[in-house]
Structure 1
Amino acid sequence: MAIALENVAIAVRDLDAAVAFFTDLGLAVVGRDTVQGEWADTAVGLDGNHVRLAMLQTPDGHGRLELFEYLHPEAIETAPTQPHEIGMHRIAFSVDDLDAALATAARHGCHPLRGVATYEDAYRLTYLRGPSGILVMLAQDLRRG
């Protein structure tokens, strides 16, 4: 059986703010839609499912991120996931310039949780809270020139 990762989907409280954050980091919007109807209720397992969504893609074309904002039913706020909690952990991106990526994130009010770490002179990386409290890892491979 062949298998391929299609995308990672994340519910957000403000779709436009989330799209702005991720497109400023370098992802591209490949589609937007409003989804509802019996087929969506069946697929998702939620009656009255109605969302606005945006599909984003990494520049290399290998990674896709689906962001969606619930119109119905009303979205339920939850506490942001902590790094040690079971469940959806974080989304990670490789960047060629961590300082530039952090400057972009800062323009959206998003800053490292603690600071920037260096792992074995191979990576500079950090976790930050993105829009809607999404835990985002940014990593720069120091071995690439």
Structure 2
Amino acid sequence: MAITLDNVGIAVDDLDAAVAFFTDLGLNVVGRDEVSGEWADTAVGLDGNHAKIALLEVPDGSGRIELFEYLHPDAIATEPTLPHENGMHRVAFRVDDLGEALAVAARHGCHPLRGVANYQDVFALTYVRGPSGILVMLAEDLTKR
């Protein structure tokens, strides 16, 4: 059986703000839609499922995320995940200029949790809190300088 990863889904409290953050980082919007109805209830396992969605892709097409904002039922606010908690953890992006990516993140009020780390002179990386508390890892390959 062949298998490929299509996308990672992330629920957000403000779809437009999340799309702005990720497109400013360099992702492209593949499409936007509003979904509801029996098919959506069945697929998600949630009666009355109604959400606005946006599918975004990295420029080389190697990865996609689907962002969704629930219209019904009301979204349940949760505490942002901590780096050591089990479950869905983070979304990670390789960038060619970490300083530039951090400047973009800062324009959205998102800053490193602690600072920028150097991993064995291979990667400069950091975690930032993106929209809706999403953990976003940004990493620059130092071997390509």
Place the TM-score, normalised by the shorter chain, in its bin. over 0.9
Confirm or deny that 1:73 pairs with 2:73.
yes
C-alpha separation between the residues in 1 aligned to 2:62 and 2:112?
26
Residue 9 of structure 1: aligned partner: 9
**Aligned to 1:143, what secondary structure does the other structure show?**
helix
How far is the alpha carbon of 1:62 from its aligned partner? 1.1
How big is the shift at 1:117? 0.4
Specify the alignment match of 1:18 in structure 2. 18
RMSD: 0.4
The residue matched to 2:17 in structure 1 has which SS?
A: helix
Instruction: Tell me the residue number matched to 1:29.
Output: 29
1:6 to partner: Cα distance: 0.6
| Whole-angstrom CA distance in 2 between matches of 1:19 and 1:61 | 17
Letter in 1 for 2:26: G
**TM-score computed with the length of structure 2 as normaliser:** 0.99
Per-residue deviation, residues 46-98 of structure 1 (Å, max 9, x unmatched)? 00000000000000101011000000000000000001100001000000000
- What is the percent sequence identity of the aligned residues? 76
Counterpart position of 1:62: 62
Amino acid at match of 2:115: G
d(CA) in 2 for partners of 1:138, 1:54: 21
* Secondary structure, counterpart of 2:101 in structure 1: helix
* One-letter amino acid of the counterpart of residue 119, structure 2: Y
Question: For 1:19 and 1:59, how far apart are their aligned partners in 2?
Answer: 15
* Runs of 4+ residues deviating >4 angstroms: none
Question: Structure 2: how far apart are the matches of 1:99 and 1:110?
Answer: 13
Name the TM-score, length of structure 1 as normaliser.
0.99
Paired residue for 2:44?
Answer: 44
The one-letter amino acid paired with 2:79 is A
Aligned to 1:84: 84
Q: Which residue identity lines up with residue 43 of structure 2 in the other structure?
A: A
Equivalent residue number for residue 123 of structure 2? 123
Cα displacement string for residues 117-143 of structure 1 (whole angstroms, at most 9, x for unaligned residues): 001111100001000000000000000
- Give me the whole-angstrom Cα distance separating, in 2, the residues matched to 1:90 and 1:57: 16
5+ long unaligned stretches in structure 2: none
3-state SS, counterpart of residue 60 of structure 1: coil
How much has 1:101 moved relative to structure 2? 0.1
